[in-house]
Amino acid sequence: MKVNKEEILGMYVALERYISQDHEREWKEWENRVDYIADAVKSVNGVVTSSFVPPIADHTPTLKISWNNEKINFSGDKLLLLLRNGNPSIEAYGAGKNSITVSPWMMLPGQEKIVASRIREELLKASD
């Protein structure tokens, strides 16, 4: 297989950047983002959160947001759709009957505030 010098240099730069990152600091930032979002949405009556690290894909701090369907009247799929079609558009995943999952590893600093606000806003709109 042919590999040109630009591809080799690109791989070298990517590897060098990865090795020089402060991975502990980055992990703590992800945990802080999860905590921020969890604190914001837990203020809605009937909402509970749990954080975990998936064992296989996206091995990063992850937040599951669940709610009591008697207090918040929509499904996880409906919330995902509202977030995707809202402004700004937000992507989450793992929708269940009464839950969604949020992973902060691709968020830029400060975006957790936007995500938390939008999720909380939609949960409040649907609460009794």
Residue 5 pLDDT exceeds 70: yes
Burial class (CB in 10 A: 0-12, 13-18, 19+), 97: exposed
pTM: 0.87
pLDDT in tens, 74-122: 899 999 999 999 999 999 998 788 999 999 989 999 999 999 999 999 9
Sign, CA dihedral 5-8-11-16, equals: negative
- Domain 23-126 fold is Aspartate Aminotransferase, domain 1 (3.90.1150)
Q: Which residues partner with 102 through β-bridges? A: 63
